[in-house]
Amino acid sequence: MELITINLDLPQDSYAIHISHDWQGLESAIRTYLGNKVMLVTDENVKELFVHNVTSIISSMGCETTLAIIQAGENSKSLGTAESLYTQALNAKLDRSSSIIALGGGVVGDLAGFVASTYMRGINFIQIPTTLLAQVDSSVGGKVAVNHPLAKNIIGSFYQPKSVYININTLSTLPDRQFSTGMAELIKYGFIWDKEFLVWLENNIERLMKKEKDALAYAIQRCCTIKAEIVGQDEKEKGLRAILNFGHTVGHGLESITGYSQFTHGEAVALGMIYESLIALHMGLVDQSLVNLLIDLLKAAKLPTKIAGIDVESLIQAMSLDKKNKSGSIVFILPTDYGKVDIFNDVDQKLIYKVFK
């Protein structure tokens, strides 16, 4: 596989997303942005797998590297963990010419990006995503954040990386549950933007689940291209970019009320997409066949399709704190056709209860 490069064009801070199946292109993708000192943020799991590959490349460029290891899991996306990373950055004497690299999944990327965006009011930040979820979604677009116990991603900023380097081979070590969690975001792109990609997914979902490299390369490239198109038109989520949150109003609510411990992010988003599609069905926006297609794809990706044992009042309360909300009403991204969604902030509360009951 040749190195694939996708450009994310912005008025300021444009950058390239590089997709490869090895580490050979990493040096040229990041050299310009490193500075003399680098803090490499990763988690305990990724440390054993890929840190040696990446640090040896950084060292060969004459950079001094500080390794900052966080606990794996959503609970690390906190102000407390961010503070410990600031301390490590200060102890390593990182300055404004230094950089922070995120090597890992969505939690590592969001947290390291948040620290990079706020340390000395912003230093260079590079994404090296190693999970499917991070490769197709969270590493691209510059949303960085930490969680609050009451709401997910509520403390954050828009801060673009200087470069994104995706090595598809890192997915060979990904546990099945984490691979499935990335599939939820991957499937999302077909429903929000690209009917042709949806058809392709129907025909190739089994190849993706077997981690066939050419299928993965195509799907990751397609997702990154779609996200680059959307973010390029609406970097700060003034309108269009909100469609990337299909499934996330319900999903973030589920994560919040279960203490970020019962569902992975992708599992919560999968359930969110189904229940938001059911709201759309009850509103007459789509027919049952679209909901069935979504359920079939999510089942094929080994994702949950029914919410059980959740207190609906608590879930609606959590959704009412979602950062997309306006003027006190819950904002939903609802499907209106195959490959098309729209933004709704006037959904009848009784209908929401009906769908969840």
Active site residues: 121, 143, 185, 227, 237, 241, 245, 248, 252, 265
Spatial contact of 154 and 145, defined as CB atoms under 8 Å apart:
yes
- Looking at the DSSP bridge assignments, the partners of residue 19 are 4, 166
d(CA 333, CA 13): 28
Backbone angles phi, psi at 333, to 5 degrees: -100, 115
Cβ-in-10-Å burial (0-12, 13-18, 19+) of 125 comes to: buried
Beta strands in 168-307 (DSSP E): none
Q: Where are the beta strands (DSSP E) in the chain?
A: 4-8, 15-20, 37-43, 64-70, 99-104, 124-129, 143-148, 151-158, 163-167, 332-337, 340-344
Q: Residue ranges of the alpha helices (H) in 24-129?
A: 26-30, 44-60, 79-91, 106-118
Angle at 8 between CA 195 and CA 30, to 5 degrees: 130
Q: Please tell me the distance from the alpha carbon of residue 331 to that of residue 339, in angstroms, as a whole number.
A: 19
Q: Do residues 116 and 123 lie in contact, with contact meaning Cβ atoms separated by under 8 Å? A: yes
Paired strand residues for 329? 326
